Amino acid sequence: MGELGIYFKAFKSMLATRFEYRTDVVLSLLGSLFYQLSPLVTYAVIATQVPNLDGWNSTQILFLFGLWALAMGLSELLFDRVWYVGGMVNLGQFDRLLLCPVETLPFCLVTEPQLHSVGNIFCGCAMLGFAGYSLHFAWWIWPLLPFWGACGAVIYSGILVVFSTILIVLPGNGVNVAQLVQQAGNATRFPLGVFPGAVKWILLFVVPLGAYQFLPGLWLFHGGSPVAGLLAPPAAALATAALAWFAWESALNHYESTGN
């Protein structure tokens, strides 16, 4: 069996384990629904105050909400273990991972698919479907949506990996570091033009969580560059993935087991 086959088998068996717990399935789906509904409610509060944000109307903003939900859901389905790196280091489980005869980063990432990812993917598709229908998307835009979502998942997970390497070098409680990235990602639900230039620049170039939905949105709705809309998301995804790999390998070189 090739290395890819091992990843797939591990992923499949973990997913089957998750679906064994039916109450978890229901509550996880409900939890992800709330995760997506809550910011919509807070946006509704804003929408009662101003008719649009930086020229983006509610349906166009829903496009941003949808792509973030889709990217997050795909990340939770395919790469979620990055959230547990701190805990694995604390409990000594990280050592076990290092003994596996496969590349540690992809194997680590794919072996924790989450049930709530289904809810986030569903919410993302529903929001994108509604936005696309209301905005009369041309036929060729529809296949680009999952592509942008996949780029977003790689970017988001890549940044999470980079931040999680802190926990490999400096063992501790763990989850808070990832929450920092999630907070930044939540901001990209809104058009980046509402933030000061420095924040916009950071969210596009330093932590490019805005590259896969804001730039395509700018192209589709506000006459932005089609080159940026089409090429920036995969370019940012590739750059983030490379950075994540480099950071992971460097962190492993500085890793000390909990017993030391």
Least gap, CB of 233 to other proteins (angstroms): 22
Within positions 221 to 260, which residues make up the interface with other proteins, using CB under 8 A? none
Those residues whose C-beta lies under 8 Å from the C-beta of residue 28, and which sit 6 or more positions away, are: 114, 115, 116, 118, 119
Least gap, CB of 6 to other proteins (angstroms): 24
Is the Cα dihedral 181, 185, 187, 193 positive or negative?
A: positive
- CA distance linking residue 126 with residue 251, whole number of Å: 39
Query: Mapping DSSP to helix (H, G, I), strand (E, B) and coil, where does residue 52 land?
Result: coil
Q: Which two tokens stand for residue 135?
A: 């905005």
- CA distance linking residue 237 with residue 149, whole number of Å: 11
Nearer to other proteins, 183 or 253 (CB): 183
137 is a contact residue toward other proteins (CB under 8 A)? no
19 is a contact residue toward other proteins (CB under 8 A)? no
Least gap, CB of 48 to other proteins (angstroms): 5
- Give the CA-trace dihedral at 72, 237, 241, 204, to 10 degrees: -90
Stretch that binds other proteins, among 99-107, 133-141, 143-151, 168-176 (CB under 8 A): 168-176
Interaction mask 174-193, other proteins, x per CB under 8 A: xxxx-xx--xx-xx--x---
27 is a contact residue toward other proteins (CB under 8 A)? yes
DSSP category for residue 102: S
DSSP track, 164-226: HHHHHHS-S--HHHHHHHHHHHHHTTS-GGGS-HHHHHIIIIIS-TTTTTHHHHHHHHH---H
User: Out of 61, 70, 110, 115, which residue is the one contacting other proteins (CB under 8 A)?
Assistant: 115
Which candidate, 72, 81, 109, places its Cα nearest to that of 185? 72
Nearer to other proteins, 196 or 223 (CB): 196
Least gap, CB of 19 to other proteins (angstroms): 11
Nearer to other proteins, 128 or 203 (CB): 203
46 is a contact residue toward other proteins (CB under 8 A)? yes
Determine how many CB atoms are found less than 10 A away from the CB of residue 35: 17
User: Out of 1, 2, 49, 101, which residue is the one contacting other proteins (CB under 8 A)?
Assistant: 49
User: Out of 93, 173, 225, 258, which residue is the one contacting other proteins (CB under 8 A)?
Assistant: 173
94 is a contact residue toward other proteins (CB under 8 A)? no
Binding site for other proteins (CB under 8 A): 18, 21, 23-24, 26-32, 34-35, 37-38, 41-42, 44-46, 48-50, 53-54, 114-116, 170, 172-177, 179-180, 183-184, 186-187, 190, 194-196, 199
